[in-house]
Amino acid sequence: METNSNLICWVVFIGLLFTRFWMISILYAIWWYLDRDTPRQGGRQSAFIRRQTIWKYTKDYFPISLVKTAELDPSRNYVAGFHPHGILATGAFINLCTESTGFSSVFPGIRSHLMLMHWCFWAPVYRDYIMCSGLVSSDKESAAHILSRKEGGNLLSIVVGGVQESLNARPGAYKLVLRNRKGFIRLALTHGADLVPIFSFGENDIYDQVENSPGSWLRWFQDRIQKNIRGSIPLFYGRGVFQYSFGLMPYRRAITTVVGKPIEVQKTPHPSQEEVDRL
């Protein structure tokens, strides 16, 4: 989905250069250059974008719900480990980047940010739109900028398994990529941000995936791509718009995203591997 949106924006941006509207692309390019660091500096959230009606319809389609099991103190900053990735991390986006499930009402005083691969911010216009929803670049500079805010009230969510985990996403099973993904733990220790576990039940049920078990030629090919470009190409399918047998529309299956109780973290500027493993 991100790849298609990126491609469309690039086609329009370049295409305008060969029309009488070429100045639009030139002016945007100047703005883009001046604004190039914003994805690593907390983005640019817009309540108008987060509250758009389309997100409510998206939420109702599955449906998607947000469940709170504990309060989040607005004076603290938090790092959330989100599981699982699923095919498109639908639960993460709808619950954390829109107001369709009432995030700001459920967690008053908390500002939500969700990390996304940095190359997604390379597309003109698309980058501005996704920043408005609360998406930020997935690099250390971006995380440090948010978690260093002394006033607190920031929730930085990381889909820990990433694109590698999406290759295992299929209905009825949850296979997480977690054992060797401890960077978010080190991040929490370094900044003294409490850890919040979030699990999105039903995330893997909304799409089927072509058989790609370890050892198969397809999985070999997907792993190669993942290692080279840090992205994956899961071959998924769901239902059609007017029929239920095949298509790219997700199945209408409930997604329940549960936000767990925060794990208190003491600030440790230079945590050892033992301290990371223990936490």
The pLDDT of residue 5: 78
What tens-digit pLDDT sequence spans the chain (279 residues)? 566 778 889 999 999 999 999 999 999 999 999 999 999 999 999 999 999 999 999 999 999 999 999 999 999 999 999 999 999 999 999 999 999 999 999 999 999 999 998 888 999 999 999 999 999 999 999 999 999 999 999 999 999 999 889 999 999 989 999 999 999 999 999 999 999 999 999 999 999 999 999 899 999 998 888 888 777 778 999 999 988 889 999 999 999 999 999 999 999 999 999 999 999
**CA–CA distance, 257 with 157 (Å, rounded to integer):** 13
Note the pLDDT of residue 176.
95
Q: What is the pLDDT of residue 3?
A: 62
Q: Given this model, what pLDDT does residue 123 score?
A: 92
For residue 84, whether the previous peptide bond is cis, meaning omega lies within 30 degrees of 0, is yes
Cα distance between residue 20 and residue 251, in whole Å: 43
Instruction: Give the pLDDT of residue 233.
Output: 79
Chain position carrying tokens 């936000």: 259
Could you tell me which residues are beta bridge partners of residue 68?
Answer: 259
Whether 92 contacts 114, CB under 8 Å: yes
